[in-house]
Amino acid sequence: MKYYIIAGELSGDKHAALLVRYIKQYDKDAVIRGFGGDNMQNEGVQIVKHIKELAFMGFLEVAAHLREVLGNISFCKKDIMSFAPDCMIFVDYPGFNLRIAEFTHKKGIKNFYYISPQVWAWKKGRIKTMKRILDKLYVILPFEKPFYANHNMQVEYYGNPLLDEISIFKTSENNKEKFLKEYSLGDKPIVAILPGSRKQEIKKMLPVQSALIDKYPQFDFVIACVDSFDEEYYRQYIRSKNAHLVFNRTYDILNVAHSGMITSGTATLETALFDVPQCVCYKTSKISYIIGKYVAKIRFISLVNIILKHETVKELLQSLWNEDDLDKEFRKITFDENYRHKMKDEYSLLRSQLGNAGASSQIAKSITEKLFK
């Protein structure tokens, strides 16, 4: 069978890559093409547009790059028709993917959507469209299945793929001591700094995150970098010469971290699953924030708090995103053992709600079975 898969961000690329690995186990003749990143490429996907060209986020940034976004949509439609796939697999990235799904539905191509748009937070009107154009939606958060059921849409939940990815990491030949030695770490407790993977995130997050480094010389601060940007790009936003920059090793960093300052996104859930006490950081433009506050129907921004339905990890957003407030929370997650233990107890509840590993394999099996019927 021929599969066309679209992931527009780093987290989607990782989830898609593991899904592709299992699809190939169920369909030995699978030919897979699409939009994605290095992880998908390493699994043998023919990448026609790299995520480095796609990761626009926020109302203003999307508007500023509208011509480029529309060009990518046009290119994608032409490439799909040239490839003539048996099915589409859309991974998150809803603003782009739902437009393409509308197109491929009209062309009679099967549409599988993996990782739901966050319609439970905003744009519930998308549900009507999704019912009409999707053959199956696979969700990765436990509350999403009953949410969709309340809207008369049947979806599948097999668990969260992060459980698979972290399990694979922990059972592979990763070695804490080897990693620490490779980067001259280990003499001090490690603080993980995850500034995000997009330009606008790094620009807004990293200067404040790195401001604490010289205040706490008893720690090693390790910044999780992505190879979309070089070291020079990161250094311009780092307010210390004592930061350790490590590229493409986020799980290795979290695996040895004592605490973390984490930019909101999938990383907050990953950090919790590594049992690392954290504070969640985010800041966007004033206009994007005001629009987001107006349209969003949720109390929290981090997945940890959204799933648990209360504030387990502190969210430092917009006006709270400053050095003083970060310093106060950093002291709690780093020095206050009662605070740390309470957060880790909440992480245990989180893991129990997510279920067991195995989601990626089961979704791959479901997709291939539907194609071979």
Q: What is the pLDDT of residues 113-137, one digit of tens each?
A: 999 999 998 889 999 999 999 999 9
195 and 331 belong to one structural domain: yes
* pLDDT class of 62 with cuts at 50, 70, 90: low
Identify whether the C-beta of residue 13 lies closer than 8 Å to the C-beta of residue 38.
yes
Same domain assignment for residues 205 and 299: yes
**Same domain membership, residue 224 and residue 102:** no
Residues 365 and 323 reside in one and the same domain: no
**CA distance readout (Å), 196 to 41, 154, 224, 226, 292:** 21, 33, 8, 9, 19
- Considering the domain architecture, whether residues 204 and 119 belong to the same structural domain is answered as no
Residues 222 and 261 in one domain: yes
List CB contacts of 78: < 8 A, sequence separation 6 or more: none
CA atoms within 13 A on the CB side of 191: 26
Same domain? For 136 and 75 the reply is: yes
Same domain, 190 and 316: yes
Question: Which residue, among 176, 204, 363, 157, has the nearest Cα to 274 in the 3D structure?
Answer: 176
pLDDT band for position 55 (cuts 50, 70, 90): low
Do 195 and 270 have their domain in common?
Answer: yes
Mean pLDDT of 328-346: 98
Full domain range(s) for residue 94: 2-159+358-372
Give the global pTM: 0.91
The percent of residues in the chain predicted with pLDDT above 90, rounded, is 81
Q: What average pLDDT does range 13-24 have in this prediction? A: 98
Q: How far apart are CA 320 and CA 108, in angstroms?
A: 49
197 and 311 in a common domain: yes
- Distance, C-alpha 297 to centroid of its chain: 20
CATH of the domain at 78: 3.40.50.2000
Q: Are 304 and 345 in the same domain?
A: yes
Three-state DSSP at 166 gives: helix
**How far apart, in whole angstroms, are the C-alpha atoms of residue 86 and residue 343?**
46
Name the band, by pLDDT with cuts 50, 70 and 90, for residue 54. confident
Considering the domain architecture, whether residues 96 and 22 belong to the same structural domain is answered as: yes
Number of domains in the chain: 2
